[in-house]
A and B are shown apart, each in its own frame.
Chain A
Amino acid sequence: MSTMPRRIASMVLACLWAASLGLIITPSAQAETAEPQGELMIEHFDPATGQRIIPNERCLTCHGDEKEKTDVRDDGTQVNLFVHREQIEASVHGEQRCNSCHTTIRRVPHREAPEVIVGCVECHRDTWEKFQNDPEGKHKRLKVVNEQIDNFMDSVHAQPNKLDESRTNATCYDCHDAHNVGELGSIQRAEKRLKNPEVCGRCHEKQLAEYRTSDHGKAVLEKGDSKSAVCSDCHTTHAIAAPESDTAKRAITKNCGDCHEDAQRTYFASYHGQVHRLGYTNTAKCHDCHGGHEVKDKDDPTSSIHANNRLENCKNCHTDANENFLSFWPHGDADDMEAYPTLWWAKRFMQGLIYGVIAFFWVHVLLWLYRELVDRFQGKGFIENLDRPDIVYFRRFSVAWRWIHALFAISTMTLILTGTTLLFSHTGWAKAVVSFLGGPKMEGIIHRTAAIIWLAIFLTHLTIALTNIWRKRKTFQWFGGTSMLPNMKDLQDLRNMFRWFLGRGPRPEFCHWTYWQKFDYWAPFWGAAVIGSSGIVLFAPEATASILPGWVFNIATLIHAEEALLAAIFLNSVHFFNVHFRPERFPMSTTIFTGAIPIEEFKHDHRLEYERLVAAGDLEKHLIKRPSRRAELAASFITSVLIMAGLALLTLVLIGIATAPK
């Protein structure tokens, strides 16, 4: 009994199969009888399917009649029904049948007034799907067509129209002259460029009217110069975004640069351009100053960049802009000596300084490294004595100096990170960092906060130092062993260091401060002056412009960046080597955070000072116990983090320099 249901099931299946077979066989048997035998009197039926074929010639009987290009519908409206036979035959669709696209047309003459219902996308997608691996590359152009279809689908044109959601804002044949789509390099395509403004202008009438008055519009529409910009050059052909969107603003600014390369290069060198290249649109873009559709030469009195109109432009963003803004060079080019000599000289000076300082100190670093390595192999130099570990330390930095250095290091690194994102806005890392920080506005706030901290520390230090000197003014030895002021001995030390590097003399003996330490100390004074003053100028453009001419911003932008680069590279390579990475110190010195230096190390690096203190009997005052294990660990940790951060910054900066567009 248990087999019963299974048998019934199999029989039911068999019957269903027979029934479905009957359904399949019957229509095909009928189709066979419907197949015409012999010649039909009527033309244009497919004998295999019994479907009507409407040859293009039949359509062109009416639609290709030069004498009757229009017709009147029953409701009295006039319709244009004319199609250029030659155009369509020469077009890429020349071999298609009319109703391959006009699929709703099944009868000729039309029984009802036909609607133009054409879908381009499906056919192009299906055909590409079929031919994408075609060995002969048939229909290979459809690859681009399909990419453009995707672009269109994401564009504002493919969005539902606000006044009639049943329609998109625009579709393929609103722009493509459907019967006249030419191949690459064909006459149709050349004509298409010149017709582009008119095509867009069918909907965008106001914009076309503005464009007509522009230099681009005059060249294209009046002189027939197809090399001048047409709509699609700026707006793209298919990936058209709403003009108020960031996507559109970015695309348009990028596209301006396709022709105006120099203008874009110099724009990207400005603060406006740097922020924009990071992907943000809150600074001035090409069209903010030059106007969108009515771009005109600066000599044209109706141009938005004409001298009489320019200030209004600035005021769109800088509401308090004054006359001095007019002397700003929005496209100032530091490589153009004739047009911008001041800027040119500023750049040459700064670059000379950078190359000079970096080259000198990198040679210094390499030679030093060579000498210490050679000494080490020969068993010479300062080597830790494991049998007598350091227990006595020299107190080198007070708590205040240690805090000052820590804050200085952190704020400097913050400034480098946030500042170089603008300088290297072309890099992926800059975009990622700014995005991570929350955009250029937040980045600006962080940069300026760090700058205030940096300056505050600098001034605090200055106050303390000057107070100390004032207190000791009676006995202060300006050029003594503990003074930071450079003296003749520093020059001699420098010379003797090089002699030592080259194996031509002993290692010089130093006082409390070595010449490279003095350089590290004084460099921020120069840096504070250059970066600080230019930074303040850039910080408060309106206030600055109330007393200084606009080109000061160009100079400030340039030297602020160049000096920052110098500092970033110097600190994270030369300073790191001198203090941490040279073999005697490797991997790091924690003295700046513990404040203590092992007495043996002090003796080695500052022998003259050590001897002076011993002779004066003052050494004991400076000796302290070895810092606690926890203090050592903490100092190592902080130093490690800062070194890692510094090396990371150095890497980012070097990536930025190496990948900088020419």
Chain B
Amino acid sequence: MQRDDTMTKNVRNLLLAVLALLPGAALAGPSGEALAFTCAGCHGTDGSSVGPSMPSIAGMDPEVFVDAMKAYQADKRNATIMNRIARGYSDEQLKDMGWFFAKQRLHLTPQKHDAALAARGARLHEKHCEKCHENGGRPGDAGTLAGQWMPYLDHTMADFLSGKRDWPRKMKRKVDAAIAEEGKQAIPALIHYYGSQQ
């Protein structure tokens, strides 16, 4: 009897120890880097996109990344496929992925642009956009515009202007003001300005 008891206890102890370590094992899970591998197909290796309509996400603000993914999860942002993909991740995983991309250097591919148009865009940006998209639109709490793929920017602006994507606070007013100033050339000018940056 005595020995049976000891045996049972030993087995139970072992089970308890495993149970105790389980949460640790579960939390350990795949790293942000491992999760981010699946993004490379579209967004390029480590988030520096090589395709013209896929935005680069390398070096981006980690909280902006999480905001974007959550907006996709909730169907609040016009998506082709990102809404489905985004739903595959937990909040914690999104945070890890955000930090993985944040830590990457953004490798830019030179884009064809009209220098004169870009110069007008630079002026418009300084006047209407710089306060939020600081440093000429470099990565920050308002996303990444500088060096971003021009066709992607074009799609995005079209989404905003057509109402497919909700305007961030105050942005519509600013875009309206830029259009009022520069007419139809306002958006292309801005896009050429961002595309011109390396």
Contacts and interface: CB of A to CB of B under 8 A. Distances in A.
Interface of A: 7-8, 11-12, 15-16, 18-19, 22-23, 25-27, 29-30, 33-34, 36-38, 40-43, 45, 50, 52, 58, 61-62, 65, 71, 74, 107-113
Given A23-B23, A52-B63, A58-B134, 8 more contacts: A19-B23, A25-B24, A26-B27, A37-B103, A41-B105, A50-B62, A107-B63, A111-B168
B142 interface: yes
B134 A61 contact: yes
Contacts of B13: 11, 15
Contacts of B96: 30, 33-34
Interface stretch (B14-22, B81-89, B115-123, B188-196): B14-22
Contacts of B138: 41
Contacts of B140: 42-43
A23 B140 CA distance: 33
Nearest to A38: B103
B106 A18 contact: no
B17 A109 contact: no
Given A11-B13, A30-B27, A40 B20 contact: no
Interface residues of B, number: 37
Counting from the closest, the 9 A-B pairs by CB-CB distance are A41-B59, A19-B20, A22-B24, A15-B16, A18-B20, A109-B132, A26-B27, A26-B24, A41-B139
A110 B105 CA distance: 26
Contacts of B170: 71, 109
Which residue among B96, B134, B141 has the maximum number of chain A CB atoms within 10 Å of its CB?
A: B141
Contacts of A19: 19-21, 23
A23 to B, nearest CB: 6
Given A19-B19, A40-B103, A41-B138, A62 B131 contact: yes
A215 B95 CA distance: 65
B99 A42 contact: no
Interface string B52-89: 00000011111100000000000000000000000000
B20 A22 contact: yes
B30 to A, nearest CB: 11
B28 A112 contact: no
19 contacts: A11-B9, A19-B20, A22-B21, A23-B24, A27-B27, A33-B31, A33-B96, A34-B99, A36-B102, A41-B60, A41-B102, A41-B105, A42-B59, A42-B60, A45-B62, A61-B134, A71-B170, A74-B169, A109-B169
Contacts of B141: 52, 107-109
B32 interface: yes
Contact of B139 (A22, A42, A52): A42
A107 B62 CA distance: 12
B9 A18 contact: no
Interface in B126-158: 131-132, 134, 138-142
Interface string B13-47: 10011011101100110011000000000000000
Nearest to B132: A109
Contacts of A29: 28
A61 B27 contact: no
Contacts of A15: 13, 16-17, 19-20
Contacts of B169: 74, 109-113
A26 B102 contact: no
A39 B141 CA distance: 17
Given A26-B27, A52-B141, A61 B131 contact: yes
Contact of A40 (B21, B32, B102): B102
A19 B170 CA distance: 49
Contacts of B20: 15-16, 18-19, 22
Contacts of B31: 33
A43 B134 CA distance: 11
Contact of A26 (B9, B23, B58): B23
A8 B138 CA distance: 60
A481 B38 CA distance: 132
Given A38-B103, A41-B106, A18 B21 contact: yes
A33 B60 contact: no
A619 B31 CA distance: 127
A25 B21 CA distance: 11
A22 B23 contact: yes
Contacts of B132: 109
Contacts of A23: 23-24
Nearest to B21: A22
Contacts of B131: 61-62, 65, 109
Contacts of B24: 22-23, 25-26
A577 to B, nearest CB: 92
Contacts of A62: 131
A25 B20 CA distance: 12
Interface string B159-174: 0000000001110000
B61 A42 contact: yes
Nearest to A27: B27
A26 B9 CA distance: 28
